[in-house]
Amino acid sequence: MSALRDPAIFRFCAIPQVMAIGTLALCYNNIEVFRGVVKMRRGLTAKVIDRTRTMSDVYGAFFDFSCMLKSKVNKNDPNATKTLSSLEAVLKTCRDSGTLNKRKSYIIRSEPSYNSALIVVVFIILGLDFVRTL
């Protein structure tokens, strides 16, 4: 993929690859696979489509989803060693790219979603409203 120069063609190739490893990360050791459909949520899909523009973005996505996969590997699985070895190879390739510290994570939020002062104000307002009803 790194040899592709046209941004549209790059995205056409990269987005399905990122979606594939993301779906694999969701399905791995997930019993829901046998009960129904397991799909990436719309928000995560939108993030993948929006954030996959460069090879650096692909490395970042593969790193995030590989970390997610690694955390799901059951040590009692007979193939755990082989699976962990493959995941470590992917993680090493991503780290060796030198681009991981310049990106936003697909999975982990780096910033809090709400300001703590806003939460306190909401609780005060709710508390005052509750006291009035007594």
Percentage of the chain lying above the pLDDT 90 cut: 55
Query: Looking up tokens 């509750």, which residue turns up?
Result: 130
Contact 105, 60 (CB under 8 A): yes
Average pLDDT over residues 58-70: 92
CA-based Rg of the chain, rounded to a whole angstrom? 20
Q: What's the CA angle centered on 62, arms 60 and 66, to 5 degrees?
A: 120
Question: Maximum CA pair distance of the chain?
Answer: 69
Contact 22, 39 (CB under 8 A): no
Q: Which residue has the higher pLDDT, 26 or 133?
A: 26
Q: Using the predicted structure, report yes or no on whether residue 109 has a pLDDT greater than 50.
A: no
Using DSSP's 3-state secondary structure scheme, residue 15 falls into helix
Domain boundaries, the chain: 7-108
Q: Which residue has the higher pLDDT, 113 or 10?
A: 10
Amino acid identity, position 66: S
Query: Looking up tokens 């790194």, which residue turns up?
Result: 2
Per-residue pLDDT tens digits for 13-43 = 999 999 999 999 999 988 888 888 888 889 8
